[in-house]
Amino acid sequence: MGRAGFIRTPGRVIETAGERTVKVELPNGFVLYAKIQARDREKVGPLAPGDAVTLEVATSDPAKGFVIERKRL
């Protein structure tokens, strides 16, 4: 169960934009920037374009989100 005010959704990394920020495309084609929180950095690990991730997107600002896990393929 996610935090209140956030929606969990899958996504795919398009590009990295810094050490903790990535550009992600959602299944509906929407593109947003997502950050990796410090508490989740060890769990997520380094991300590369093409990686499948799970995001938490705020309902108040759907243009930003947080990467909460990387899916192992």
Q: What are the residue ranges spanned by the domains of the chain?
A: 6-70
CATH 2.40.50.140 applies to domain 6-70: yes
Strand pairing report for 31-36 and 64-70? parallel
- Beta-strand ranges (E) seen in 1-73 are 6-16, 21-25, 31-36, 52-58, 64-70
Segment 49-65, tens digit of pLDDT:
999 999 999 888 888 89
Mean pLDDT computed over every residue of the chain: 87
Q: How many CB atoms lie within 10 A of CB 61?
A: 9
Q: pLDDT above 70 covers what percent of the chain?
A: 93
Segment 6-23, tens digit of pLDDT:
899 999 999 998 888 999
Q: What is the pTM of this model?
A: 0.82
Report, as an integer, the average pLDDT of 22-37.
Answer: 92
